[in-house]
Chain A
Amino acid sequence: MFLITDKQNLTPTVSLLKIKAPDVTRHAKPGQFVMLRVEENGERIPLTIAEANQTDGTISVIFQVVGATTKKLSLLKKDDYLLDFAGPMGKPAKLDGLKKVCVIGGGVGCAIAYPIAKALFDKNTIVHTIIGFRTKDLVFLENEFKQISEKSFLVTDDGSYQNQGRVTDILKDLLEKKETYDEVYAIGPLPMMKYVSELTKKYQIKTIVSMNPVMVDGTGMCGGCRVSVGNEMKFACVDGPEFDGHLVNFDEAIMRNKMYESFESKKYQEVCNTLKEESK
């Protein structure tokens, strides 16, 4: 059992959990993830490590409520326990030897983009950040990004806060104005990562994306998380989750993430209905 030492609601649907797991913190590096299970009969879900605190032996994860498991996770409070928590999994991000990088985060992907941007900043890399949200209510980590960025941009789809538009609008603008980067990091929904990769390909800027396929074990034994990268089959949990965005087959990944859509919406509805019953 793994103790939750802190819980913060960052937006109406995004929460942060701090979990006591000294064994996981010891080797955890930016870009890696954990697999967790809330309770018996629960499924295993992957969540990227937002922070590994060596001093108090905790791992922070930031997640958005998108279905049954994340809904249940969001109901947990400080001093509650998670049944299973394993990691760190996946390969760490390769952040050495970079002079100037643009880090792009979309929605809850900002939670994964931030530790990357912070680690780059700590290595004296010049960091530009572009973060995007659907609407004002969903904005989080704004100040954190600002503090480590030489230039920082925030966009909302509906223009309710800061610039109206998409992260790619800002990136396109920067690149047209002859801004150059050693690398672009894009982390967020698959279509966002796809459009960023298509844009940077024209400018021949190496682009790293963090894939988020369906996972079961997270240790390489099932291949449920397979993605096509440069026409090769890769397992995101052991070969990734970061890949060269110019080589990833995004359309296929988007299709594969829809595999259990109807089951997932049904389970989510069940959880919501149970909660309603209980609150009556």
Chain B
Amino acid sequence: MINLSKEKNVMPVLDPQLRIQTFDEVALGYTLEQAQDEAKRCLDCKHKPCVNGCPVGIDIPRFIQKVIEGDIEEAYQIISESSLLPSVCGRVCPQETQCEALCVRVNKGESVAIGNLERFVADYHYEHQKIESTKIIPNQIKIAVIGSGPAGLSAANDLSKMGYSVDIFEALHTPGGVLTYGIPAFRLPKDIVQREVDMLKSQGVQIHTNVIIGQTIYIDELFENGYKAVFLGTGAGLPKFLGIPGEMLNGVYSANEFLTRINLMKAYEKISETPIQLAKRVAVIGGGNVALDAARAAKRLGAETVYIIYRRSMKELPARLEEVHHAIEEGIIFKMQMNAKEIIGNEFGFVGKIRCVDMILGEPDESGRARPIEDINSNHIIEVDSVIMAIGTTPNPLIIQSNPDLNATRQGCIITLGDSGETSKEMVYAGGDVVTGSATVILAMGAGKKAAMAIDQKIRSL
């Protein structure tokens, strides 16, 4: 029988007043009963529109039916056919613009909570199932994967299941890419990332940390060392700054630096030797997930006032809806249609104020969103001790610099041939943010998957 409720089963969350004092996960997940009750809202459509909204094409109605039947392990196996990181994607995907946007129940009420169900299934699986290594028939062909973010992990997973001997090379000291240094624990607990990495290792994938491609080792050397193909999943890690006066002041961070200090280096823990500024008033420039992560992390470090400064309106915020709600509950102040023009220092060389102007929303631009135009007659001075720039990132130029034969766009994104991930360099494939510029975890995973298939086909054809 179908659950006719127009609304999703609400996911239990930590109380906002309590959670802003910790980095513990905010959303607590469904119980089995809540999940089954929610699963019954699925109409099990024959034409499955939701599947088209999922970048990796998970058979959503089929896994949801298994949840109703109480066969959670089977549900997990169905998801695993298409996705490597369900406990991650269930948490961080912007479902409202993907699978859930196409759910027929949106016509009269809320969509089925597909993301919450995916997360439930993955968490349940890990709680009840011991990690078992899948039977793999090795083919002795070596493939190198550069970068251990979602794209690299996904490519490595698929290639190793096909029998390839996969080595991942990671520049930082901990694998996971943005899952480790970018997304804070209150949204994605780090043990979840760890167990996905452990699963890969149990499959025989080797992860080499502290290896920087283009510095420690070069792509051409990998081929000399017997690798038959290389997958580049190096992401878009180079932060942008606005280019306004005062960006060199103490207390101005890129979101990447701020979040790396917190997430990777654990600067919020007393035992950590990595310092971080404990500001009382913080302005975060930008409106994406990274901006919200930085703002909410600043709050948890003890900031009393945290502003999000964004050029457009609430309606255009690119961040996930759920995170915007969480941020509002946590007391983050949204200053919309505003742009930072200047950061003003105090006598100690630290940030003292930020000067902003109002933005008027004009006609839609190429992106289809209203073009923000500066109101030069307006002027706002906001007193802050810290400014965090979360206005986007571009791919790191190291890879292109060390491989002039890799074609790239002016922004430094690697150019690939269609969906396959094939680059201009022979047997080198690329996918994820290094190709698209900063996008989502699931798109990066999808790209890793497609490249793995293309690499396999190419090697078989040789």
Q: Which residues of A contact B239 (CB under 8 A)?
A: 221-223
Q: Which residues of A contact B251 (CB under 8 A)?
A: 259
Of A81-89, A106-114, A125-133, A134-142, which stretch is located at the interface? A81-89
> Looking across the interface, which residue of chain B has its beta carbon closest to that of A251?
B349
Pick from A24, A219, A259: contact of B171, CB below 8 A.
Answer: A219
1/0 per residue B171-190: CB within 8 Å of A? 11100000000000000000
Question: Which residues from 63 to 84 on chain A have a C-beta closer than 8 Å to any C-beta of chain B?
Answer: 68-69, 83-84
Question: Which residues from 201 to 228 on chain B have a C-beta closer than 8 Å to any C-beta of chain A?
Answer: 209-212, 215-218
Q: Which residues of A contact B218 (CB under 8 A)?
A: 27
- Tell yes or no: A201 within 8 A of B by CB: no
1/0 per residue A41-68: CB within 8 Å of B? 1111000000000000000000000001
Question: Which residues from 42 to 77 on chain B have a C-beta closer than 8 Å to any C-beta of chain A?
Answer: none
How many residues does chain B have at the interface if contact means C-beta atoms less than 8 Å apart? Answer: 39
Q: Which residues of A contact B217 (CB under 8 A)?
A: 23, 26-27
Determine whether the beta carbon of A221 is less than 8 Å from that of B396: yes
- Tell yes or no: A37 within 8 A of B by CB: yes
Determine whether the beta carbon of B266 is less than 8 Å from that of A41: yes
Pick from A68, A89, A216, A263: contact of B265, CB below 8 A.
Answer: A216
Report whether over half of chain B's contact residues are helix, strand or loop; otherwise say mixed. loop
Determine whether the beta carbon of B237 is less than 8 Å from that of A220: yes
1/0 per residue A252-280: CB within 8 Å of B? 10011011100110010000000000000
Question: Which residues from 281 to 311 on chain B have a C-beta closer than 8 Å to any C-beta of chain A?
Answer: none
Q: Which residues of A contact B241 (CB under 8 A)?
A: 223, 226, 233
Say yes or no: A221-B275 contact (C-beta < 8 A), given A23-B216, A86-B211, A88-B215.
Answer: no
Pick from A216, A219, A223: contact of B212, CB below 8 A.
Answer: A219
> Looking across the interface, which residue of chain B has its beta carbon closest to that of A253?
B248
Minimum CB–CB distance for A265 against chain B, Å: 11
- Tell yes or no: B365 within 8 A of A by CB: no
- Tell yes or no: A98 within 8 A of B by CB: no
> Looking across the interface, which residue of chain B has its beta carbon closest to that of A90?
B215
> Looking across the interface, which residue of chain A has its beta carbon closest to that of B267?
A43
Determine whether the beta carbon of A86 is less than 8 Å from that of B173: yes
Determine whether the beta carbon of B211 is less than 8 Å from that of A41: no
- Tell yes or no: B247 within 8 A of A by CB: yes
Q: Which residues of B contact A41 (CB under 8 A)?
A: 266, 269, 271-273
Q: Which residues of A contact B398 (CB under 8 A)?
A: 219-220, 238
- Tell yes or no: B274 within 8 A of A by CB: yes
Of B11-19, B89-97, B254-262, which stretch is located at the interface? B254-262
Q: CA separation between A68 and B217, bound complex, in Å? A: 31
Q: Which residues of B contact A43 (CB under 8 A)?
A: 265, 272-275
Say yes or no: A258-B265 contact (C-beta < 8 A), given A27-B216, A85-B210, A221-B238.
Answer: no
> Looking across the interface, which residue of chain B has its beta carbon closest to that of A264?
B275
- Tell yes or no: A189 within 8 A of B by CB: no
- Tell yes or no: A217 within 8 A of B by CB: yes
Q: Which residues of B contact A164 (CB under 8 A)?
A: none
- Tell yes or no: A165 within 8 A of B by CB: no
Q: CA separation between A228 and B248, bound complex, in Å? A: 8
Determine whether the beta carbon of B171 is less than 8 Å from that of A256: no
Determine whether the beta carbon of A222 is less than 8 Å from that of B273: no
Determine whether the beta carbon of A216 is less than 8 Å from that of B261: yes
Say yes or no: A224-B215 contact (C-beta < 8 A), given A43-B274, A233-B247.
Answer: no
Q: Which residues of A contact B210 (CB under 8 A)?
A: 84-86
> Looking across the interface, which residue of chain A has its beta carbon closest to that of B274?
A43
Say yes or no: A23-B272 contact (C-beta < 8 A), given A220-B396, A223-B241, A224-B257.
Answer: no
Minimum CB–CB distance for B180 against chain A, Å: 12
Determine whether the beta carbon of A23 is less than 8 Å from that of B211: yes
- Tell yes or no: B3 within 8 A of A by CB: no
Q: Could you give 7 example pairs across A and B, Cβ below 8 Å? A: A43-B272, A220-B237, A221-B239, A221-B260, A226-B241, A259-B251, A260-B277
Given contacts A41-B266, A219-B237, 5 further A-B contacts (CB under 8 A): A42-B273, A87-B215, A88-B215, A220-B396, A228-B248
| 3 nearest CB pairs, A to B | A222-B257, A221-B237, A86-B210
Chain B residues with a Cβ under 8 A of chain A: 171-173, 209-212, 215-218, 237-239, 241, 243, 247-248, 250-251, 253-254, 256-257, 260-261, 265-266, 269, 271-275, 277, 349, 396-398
